[in-house]
Structure 1
Amino acid sequence: MEDHASGMDYQPKSRPPQEVLTEVKSLSSGLYDILHVRGKTTAPGPMASNCKSDDNEEGSLQIVRHPWSLYGVNNASLQKGMSNLARELPKRGWKIVKNGPNRSEARTLEILAVHMKTRTQMHAEWLRGLDAGTEPLIAFDVYSRCFKPE
C-alpha cells in the first residue's frame, strides 16, 4: 500500500473534490454494509485536506479521508464484522493487502485493502476495549489517492 503521508509512486490526477468526496463516502457506506453488524457509528463524514507529500508544493494536492468507527456492540459481533470484511471485500472489488494482527503489544487485528477500480485505500482495526473504561470498536480510515483539485 502507498503511504499517503510521504512520497508517491503515482502521478496525481485532476479531479473535482466533490466527486472524490462522493466516491469515498460511497465506498465507506459499502464497508458498513459488508460488516452486517448494526451498532453506532461516529461522525463526521469524509473531508478533503491537503495531501502531505514530498511532491506537494504549497498545498496543490488534496486527499479525501473518512475516519469513522463502529461501536456499541460486543466483541463477538465485532469479530464477526471483521470476518465478514475479510470474506466480502474481494467480492466488491477490494484487494486485501494485510489481514492479521498488527505489531502493537495488543496484537490488534487489522485489515488493509485497496479498491482496485478507484485506488481508494481502507484500514480497519478491531480495538477490543480491554483497558478499563474503553469500549470495543472497529476503527476505519478510508482515504483517496492524492489528487489535483479541478
Structure 2
Amino acid sequence: MIKIRTGALLATALLTLTGCSMSNGGEAKAEGTKVVGVRDQDEVNAETKKVSSEIFDLIGVPGTTSKGGAGVQPCEDRDRERFYKMFHPWSLTAKTDEELAQAMERLKAALPQRGWKIVKYGPDSSASKSLELTADNDERKFGLHVSFWRKDSGGDKNPPMLKIDVVSGCYQVPDGQKVEHY
C-alpha cells in the first residue's frame, strides 16, 4: 500500500508544483506546459540538490534519509529532447511523530521568510489524513511538497516519516544541447 501512496503523492506533487501556481515572471511561454527559461541541465540539477539540502537543514531533525538523488523528467506536452524539469524525491525517518510534527511547523513558519509561498497546509485526502505542505518559490522556480506520515499510517508498519518532493519549473536546454535522461 505504501508504494501506491508514494507514487500517487509524487504524481500529485509534480502536477501541483510545476503547474499553474508557479508564476511565469514574464519569461518564455509557449503552448502547453509553462517554460520558465533556458538553462543548462547540470545547473538546474545542482540547484535542485541545493534546494533539497536547504529543506533538510530547515527540518532540523536527526534521522535517516533515503538514498538516491535528483532525476530528470520531460515537461508535459513538450519535446522531451529539449525541455525538462528536475525533481528530487527523498524521505526522512525519525524516532517520534512529535519531532516531525514540530518540523512541519518549522517549515510552515520558515519557508515564507525564504521566498516560498505556502499554497497548501493541512490534512491530505488519504484515510490517515496525513499532514501535507505544498509551497512554491516563484523567484527560484521550484516547488515543494512535504507529507508527514505518522507511525504506522501507511497501511503497514512504518516509522514516522517525512516524504519530500522538490521539483523545478520546466526549462529548455540551450541551443545545440539535448536533455540527458536519468
TM-score, length-scaled by structure 2: 0.74
How big is the shift at 1:11?
3.0
Of 153, 164, 167, the residue aligned with 1:143 is 167
More helix by share: 2
**C-alpha distance in structure 2 between counterparts of 1:21 and 1:86, whole Å:** 25
Residue identity matched to 2:134: L
Q: Does 1:99 align with 2:108?
A: no
How big is the shift at 1:98?
0.5
Q: Identity over aligned residues, as a percent?
A: 31
**C-alpha distance in structure 2 between counterparts of 1:115 and 1:63, whole Å:** 15
Contiguous gaps of at least 5 residues in structure 1: none
* Counterpart for residue 31 of structure 1: 55
The two structures, once aligned, show a CA RMSD in angstroms of 2.1
Residue identity matched to 1:45: G
Of 109, 114, 126, the residue aligned with 2:131 is 109
Contiguous gaps of at least 5 residues in structure 2: 1-12, 21-31, 175-182
TM superposition outliers: structure 1 runs of 4+ over 3 Å? 4-7
Q: Does 1:18 align with 2:42?
A: yes
* Counterpart for residue 97 of structure 2: 75
Give the secondary structure class of the aligned counterpart of 1:66: strand
Give the secondary structure class of the aligned counterpart of 1:38: coil
Is 2:35–2:169's contact at 8 Å kept on the other side of the alignment? no
* Counterpart for residue 49 of structure 1: 73
Change in 2 beyond 3 A, CA 1:38/1:63? same
**C-alpha distance in structure 2 between counterparts of 1:35 and 1:25, whole Å:** 15
Query: How many residues are aligned here?
Result: 147
Give the secondary structure class of the aligned counterpart of 1:147: strand
How big is the shift at 1:61?
1.1
**C-alpha distance in structure 1 between counterparts of 2:122 and 2:115, whole Å:** 20
Residue identity matched to 1:100: G
Change in 2 beyond 3 A, CA 1:58/1:25? closer
* Counterpart for residue 180 of structure 2: none
**C-alpha distance in structure 1 between counterparts of 2:116 and 2:148, whole Å:** 19
**C-alpha distance in structure 1 between counterparts of 2:72 and 2:14, whole Å:** 18
* Counterpart for residue 108 of structure 2: 86
Residues 91-121 of structure 1, C-alpha deviations (whole Å, 9 max, x = no match):
1111100011111221110000011311200
